[in-house]
Structure 1
Amino acid sequence: MNANRLIYTQKIPAEIEEVWDFFADPMNLVYITPKEMHMRITNKDKIGYLEKGMIVSYKLFPFFDFPVKWTTRITHVDRLRGFEDEQKEGPYEYWHHRHLFKEIPGGVEVTDIIEYKIPFGFFGKMLDMLLIHSRLEYVFAYRRRKIGEIFGETKAA
């Protein structure tokens, strides 16, 4: 499978336990997703603190008034080091997201590694080139800003 791969890294001036606790609460995903996407977790009464096997279901509007239902499963959890989720049902042919956390001097380095594939063959590739890739870039840039607002920004040396 030829999946697309995106990697985003951010340095956060906070303790690893604080950063982990934020990301280990699936409800916080709503706060770091662009407001205009109207993201809502639809099974919030069935989820708690992050654990392997957890199912998280969402409804969001990634493009205009087009609603998308998306369900992910947490497939791996290594406390304070990382976790992974995969799409169970949703818009992608394939979606795998690794969230990695590493203590560094002055804080935590957070890395997101996303691998995804769009369905519909050639049409899907064109859709990705014209719309989806840039939208994912926008979403993760927004996420970076929001995380910076929550935890602060690491100053360049």
Structure 2
Amino acid sequence: MTASFVCRTESPLPVERLFDLARSIDVHVESQRTAGERAVGGVTSGLIGEGQDVTWRARHFGIPLTMTSRITRLDFPRSFTDEQVKGPFKVFRHIHEFEQTPTGSTMVDRVEFIAPLGVLGRAVERLFLARYLERLIIRRGRFLAEGRIPGNS
């Protein structure tokens, strides 16, 4: 059984700009500063592309975690998908979709995941993991929508 959620973010930015911000390793690191997230392997700065991997280290729930994700699909500037290839989840897939609007653009994040540990993992998903991940994606979406660039406040 896969857990999932969808987040929608409106932005005044052009769709191409929002798309590139969403696949920028540097912007991701800045948006996840509170978790101490950093890129430690694969593509560690700049824009990640189709077929490329990035390995992240972060601390969530006070636990140090390492996760390697791969961009498995990229259709500039409409969508890209990243999927865990190694890490704490049994399955983790994040589909990013973008659309130009009259006032800027819209980004839709579709996240699907399965926690490890079988029945215990499913209980954790329902009790707090899904809400935690959704809040994290909402915060990241707002950060991207503002168009902030690392090093420029």
TM bucket by the smaller chain?
0.7 to 0.9
Say whether the 8 Å CA contact 2:43–2:52 is kept in structure 1.
no
What is the one-letter code of the residue matched to 1:121? G
Identity over aligned residues, as a percent?
26
Q: Which moved more, 1:54-63 or 1:139-148?
A: 139-148
Counterpart for residue 125 of structure 1: 122
Say whether the 8 Å CA contact 1:118–1:124 is kept in structure 2.
yes
Q: CA RMSD in A?
A: 1.8
Distance 2:118 2:20 in 1: 39
Say whether the 8 Å CA contact 1:86–1:97 is kept in structure 2.
yes
1:9-31 Cα offsets, whole Å, 9 max, x none, are 11101112221221232221112
Distance 2:141 2:19 in 1: 16
Correspondence list, 1:1-157, <5 A? 2-33=1-32, 35-43=33-41, 48-64=46-62, 66-150=63-147
Distance 2:141 2:147 in 1: 10
What is the one-letter code of the residue matched to 1:76? R
In the alignment, structure 1 segments of 5+ residues that lack a partner are: 152-157
1:53-102 Cα offsets, whole Å, 9 max, x none, are 100100000112x1000000110010110100110001110011100011
Distance 1:22 1:148 in 2: 9
In the alignment, structure 2 segments of 5+ residues that lack a partner are: 149-153
Q: 1:89 to 1:145 in 2, by over 3 A?
A: same
Distance 2:45 2:143 in 1: 23
Aligned residues: 148
Q: Which moved more, 1:45-54 or 1:20-29?
A: 45-54
Q: Which has the larger radius of gyration?
A: 1
TM-score, normalised on structure 1? 0.86
Shift of 1:37: 0.9
Question: Residue 69 of structure 1 aligns to a residue in which SS?
Answer: strand
Q: 1:148 to 1:48 in 2, by over 3 A?
A: closer
What is the one-letter code of the residue matched to 2:13? A
Moved beyond 6 Å, runs of 4+ = none
What is the one-letter code of the residue matched to 1:136? L
Q: 1:82 to 1:148 in 2, by over 3 A?
A: closer
Distance 1:39 1:49 in 2: 17
